[in-house]
Structure 1
Amino acid sequence: MEFRCIQDCSQCCIEREYYPSKKFGKIGVLILPEEKERIEQLAKINGLKISILPRIGISEEENSNPTKILAYQLMGIEPNGNTCPFLDTETSDKSPHGGFPCKIYNKRPLACMTYPLIESEPITLD
């Protein structure tokens, strides 16, 4: 399968999966621990308020809070989790296909760079 990112298409900024129940909104963009500080700094530089929540954690004891966070999620700016805060939806400078520019395109998270290469079908282990 070959995929070529089209800058400013906006799909990875908007098209994410819902949690198992739509009432919880969409899943945030996966942020690795080594990306978190950089993303927070980019938000500060761009004057953006962002919300990064723990997504995957592990604990040393059963039924206890995580002691180590393995991944975070950058939440969207709409109540249902849509629209990445780095997507410049206020610009009149849209792409030819109607997409908006990403304010951090050259420094975007790995999850954005690899979109749409996500396995969405259930996987079974033998």
Structure 2
Amino acid sequence: MERRWVATIDLETLEVEHDPTFKFKCLENCGKCCYELEIPVRDEDIARIEELGYSAWEFVDYDKMFYRGDKFLSYALKKRPFDGGCVFLDPETMRCKIYDHRPLACRLYPFVFVKHGKKMEIYVKKDSFCPGIDHPEGEAVTREFLLREYGDVIEEYRRKVVKSRE
């Protein structure tokens, strides 16, 4: 996976250093990531989607598994057999049917968060199929962008930093 550094956030002060040359804009009705990516679904993602009335058997691909080394991490989100798109992507509107409840990997894409002590580095996956990467109308990955789009994820990591100091 080729990736590029775009920002670092201090989890204690929320100060952000960012690459001002990078811009991102998720394009409505694009859906390319919903076809191209294999998405891991964590237990928390499965529980949240099941609360919507779906059965895990409808959306979890138990044949595809993600590992880090020899440690099992998760299963994958199912793809539709007729076109290879995510089972939650509406093929007519190209919009996610569970957008507000989508898995964390979907929420983060195309960004990768890597925690180093009290700092979180943010990288962008340089996938050629994503038209939002370096989009001319895109937005820089500033403090405001990060807190608006990923405030809950950052807060979860901040709590872990505080606990590790206690």
Please state which band the TM-score falls in when normalised by the shorter chain: 0.5 to 0.7
Select the structure of larger CA radius of gyration.
2
Q: Which has the higher helix share?
A: 2
CA contact (8 A) 2:41 2:74 kept: yes
Query: In the alignment, which residue of structure 1 is the partner of 2:30?
Result: 9
Root-mean-square deviation over aligned CA pairs: 3.0
Q: Output the TM-score relative to the length of structure 2.
A: 0.43
Q: TM-score, normalised by structure 1?
A: 0.54
In the other structure, the counterpart of 1:56 is 67
Rounded to whole Å, the distance in 2 between the matches of 1:58 and 1:12 is 25
State the distance in 1 between where 2:80 and 2:44 align: 23
Amino-acid identity (%): 32
2:109 corresponds to 1:115? yes
The alignment covers a number of residue pairs equal to: 90
Deviations along 1:40-87, one digit per CA (max 9) or x if unpaired, are 343618xx922332423787xxxxxx7xx422211211278x210001
Q: 5+ residue gaps in structure 1?
A: 17-27, 60-65, 95-99, 121-126
Equivalent in the alignment of 1:21: none
Which amino acid in 2 is paired with 1:113?
Answer: R
The equivalent of 2:85 in structure 1 is 83
Structure with the bigger percentage of strand:
2
What residue ranges of structure 2 are gaps of 5+ in the alignment?
1-21, 112-124, 128-166
CA displacement at 1:105 relative to structure 2:
1.3
Question: For residues 40 and 110 of structure 1, do their structure 2 counterparts lie closer, same or farther at Cα, with a shift above 3 Å needed?
Answer: same
Any runs of at least 4 consecutive aligned residues in structure 1 with deviations exceeding 6 A, and if so which?
A: none
State the 1:108 CA deviation: 1.3
